[in-house]
């Protein structure tokens, strides 16, 4: 025991010598103040017994090594690891993380592991050895705002406005249906964002979700709000309740090569007569997954004459889409089943009247085929039942967006032209 205490004194003195340096490192914040020990000379056994030893993990250091460096015996390390599932987090130490231990009389009584700013593992000695508990500190969210003008790139301008990478990505995603961020942006485009900041004791620790955003691209204004419905489902809408996303995607294949367009007076490749082509053919290898273009219900999945293996999906309001010449259907696909936009329903093939593997795709409104490449695709809509709830939730954010825009314009006008 005496040896153990001596080791602890030595370690403590060593760790004391490091304290000023440690305090200047911002990487780890202490969840609670360290007990005050002024100088090594003041160290008495009683004070030592009450003191917490602190050890910062070095690159490549294991829990075992770290505990040995703090002066603990392999048996002790074993018992801590045996305290249950939670102790497994100790096997995944990262450099800079902090272990703190209290060992009155040289026996480990308490071990705290600062996993991150929010989570601390507390291991305590009990009659059976050790037990571990995870303590998570509660965070708050604060509604914040940011705005900027695109100069050289959206990324740089948004970063300057204080947005994190995550928020910038989310912003681009929100307007992805309307603006092609790789091609459409130009200097002078403006953005404004209302977003949540996650805070701990009033300090920001990370960005939360974007609540509302505005993008002015080439003079045209786009706005979007994030709406959480009473069931907790999150959808991005325009402030008037129209969805940002179209209710249909244009193409049923991710990479498209159109081999035959919609053409009411086409010469048929097999029959060599004028036969209207009432869909679009996409050339693709046999087995290429076919994605349904909108939410709906499978109205038919089976074999049908020239179409070969075909799937017809009913989207409601008189709209159907058709997928022909499939080599096979998705395994679980059944008639009457609900499918959602982007879901794989079948695979490209050459069944029916086909000269080679391709997908024949039709878009029908009230039984009439329309050109899938030009037909106006409707936006998905907010269900009527949620209108009031939607307005109550999103109107304050839209008001913030509009106020920011007014400020931006006022600032620009106040700047003398050069």
Minimum Å gap between C-beta 361 and Zn ion is 8
Minimum Å gap between C-beta 354 and Zn ion is 8
Nearer CB in complex with Zn ion: 246/275: 275
**How far, in Å, CA of 206 to CA of 418, rounded?**
39
Minimum Å gap between C-beta 325 and Zn ion is 8
Nearer CB in complex with Zn ion: 263/343: 263
Nearer CB in complex with Zn ion: 282/386: 282
Stretch that binds Zn ion, among 38-46, 138-146, 157-165, 355-363 (CB under 5 A): 355-363
Nearer CB in complex with Zn ion: 186/355: 355
**How far, in Å, CA of 255 to CA of 347, rounded?**
14
Q: What token pair was written down for 81?
A: 């690891």
**How far, in Å, CA of 161 to CA of 372, rounded?**
41
Contact letters (x/-) for Zn ion, 270-289, by CB under 5 A?
---------x-x--------
Minimum Å gap between C-beta 250 and Zn ion is 17
Beta strand ranges found along 247-342 (DSSP E): 258-260, 280-283, 289-291, 296-304, 308-314, 319-326, 328-329, 338-339
Contact letters (x/-) for Zn ion, 185-224, by CB under 5 A?
----------------------------------------
Residues 89-128 that bind Zn ion (CB under 5 A): none
Q: Is 360 in the site for Zn ion (CB under 5 A)?
A: yes
Contact letters (x/-) for Zn ion, 237-276, by CB under 5 A?
----------------------------------------
**How far, in Å, CA of 211 to CA of 232, rounded?**
15
* Partners of residue 361 on adjacent β-strands: 280, 323
Nearer CB in complex with Zn ion: 176/276: 276
**How far, in Å, CA of 213 to CA of 183, rounded?**
20
Q: Identify the DSSP state of 294.
A: B
Nearer CB in complex with Zn ion: 294/372: 372
Nearer CB in complex with Zn ion: 100/360: 360
Count of residues touching Zn ion (by CB under 5 A): 3
Minimum Å gap between C-beta 307 and Zn ion is 9
Minimum Å gap between C-beta 412 and Zn ion is 53
Judge contact between 322 and 311, C-beta under 8 A: yes
Minimum Å gap between C-beta 168 and Zn ion is 42
Minimum Å gap between C-beta 324 and Zn ion is 7
Stretch that binds Zn ion, among 78-86, 240-248, 312-320, 353-361 (CB under 5 A): 353-361
DSSP 344-394: EEEE-B--SS-SSSEEEEEEEETTEEE-TTTSPPPEEE--GGGHHHHHHHH
Of the candidates 412, 339, 333, 357, which has an alpha carbon nearest to the alpha carbon of residue 147? 412
Minimum Å gap between C-beta 360 and Zn ion is 3
* 12 alpha-carbon distance from chain centroid: 43
Nearer CB in complex with Zn ion: 189/281: 281
Judge contact between 239 and 223, C-beta under 8 A: yes
Q: Identify the DSSP state of 36.
A: P
Nearer CB in complex with Zn ion: 249/263: 263
Q: What token pair was written down for 326?
A: 């499939």
Burial group, residue 273, by CB count within 10 angstroms (0-12, 13-18, 19+) = exposed
Stretch that binds Zn ion, among 75-83, 153-161, 233-241, 358-366 (CB under 5 A): 358-366
* Partners of residue 143 on adjacent β-strands: 196
Nearer CB in complex with Zn ion: 56/358: 358
Minimum Å gap between C-beta 265 and Zn ion is 14
Minimum Å gap between C-beta 411 and Zn ion is 56
Nearer CB in complex with Zn ion: 159/251: 251
Q: What token pair was written down for 298?
A: 């499978």
Residue of minimal Cβ distance to Zn ion: 360
Handedness of CA 164, 167, 171, 176 (dihedral sign): positive
**How far, in Å, CA of 165 to CA of 169, rounded?**
6
Using alpha carbons, list the distances in angstroms from residue 55 to 49, 120, 141.
Answer: 17, 15, 32
Give the interface with Zn ion as residue ranges (CB under 5 A).
279, 281, 360
């Amino acid at each position: 025991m005496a040896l153990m205490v001596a080791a602890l004194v030595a370690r403590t003195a060593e760790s004391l010598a490091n304290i000023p340096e440690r305090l200047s490192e911002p990487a780890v914040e202490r969840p609670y103040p360290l007990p005050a020990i002024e100088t090594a000379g003041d160290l008495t056994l009683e004070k030592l017994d009450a003191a917490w030893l602190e050890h910062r993990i070095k690159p490549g250091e294991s829990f075992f090594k770290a505990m040995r460096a703090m002066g603990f015996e392999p048996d002790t390390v074993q018992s801590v690891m045996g305290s249950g599932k939670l102790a497994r987090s100790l096997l995944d130490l990262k450099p800079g993380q902090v272990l703190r231990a209290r060992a009155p009389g040289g026996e480990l009584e308490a071990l705290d592991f600062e996993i991150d700013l929010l989570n601390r593992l507390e291991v305590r000695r009990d009659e059976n050895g050790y037990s571990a508990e995870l303590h998570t500190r509660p965070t708050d969210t604060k509604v914040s705002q940011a705005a900027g003008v695109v100069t050289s790139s959206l990324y740089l301008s948004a970063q300057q406005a204080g947005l994190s990478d995550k928020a910038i990505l989310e912003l681009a995603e929100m307007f992805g249906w309307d603006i092609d961020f790789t091609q459409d942006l130009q200097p002078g485009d403006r953005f404004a964002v209302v977003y949540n900041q996650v805070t701990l004791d009033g300090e920001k620790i990370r960005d939360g979700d974007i609540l509302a955003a505005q993008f002015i691209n080439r003079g045209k204004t786009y706005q979007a709000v994030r709406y959480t419905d009473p069931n907790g489902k999150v959808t991005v809408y325009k402030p008037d309740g129209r969805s940002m996303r179209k209710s249909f995607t244009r193409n049923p294949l991710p990479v498209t090569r159109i081999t035959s367009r919609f053409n009411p007076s086409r010469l048929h490749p097999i029959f060599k007569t004028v036969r209207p082509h009432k869909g679009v053919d996409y050339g693709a290898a046999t087995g290429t997954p076919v994605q349904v273009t909108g939410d709906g219900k499978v109205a038919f999945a089976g074999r049908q004459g020239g179409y070969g293996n075909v799937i017809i999906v009913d989207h409601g309001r008189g709209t159907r889409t058709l997928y022909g010449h499939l080599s096979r259907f998705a395994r679980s696909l059944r008639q009457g089943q609900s499918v959602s936009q982007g879901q794989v329903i079948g695979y490209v093939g050459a069944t029916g009247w086909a000269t080679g593997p391709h997908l024949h795709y039709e878009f029908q409104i009230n039984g009439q085929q329309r050109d899938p490449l030009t037909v106006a695709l409707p936006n998905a809509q907010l269900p009527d039942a949620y209108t009031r709830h939607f307005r109550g939730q999103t109107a304050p954010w839209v008001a913030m967006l509009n106020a920011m825009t007014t400020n931006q314009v006022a600032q620009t006008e106040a700047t003398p032209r050069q």
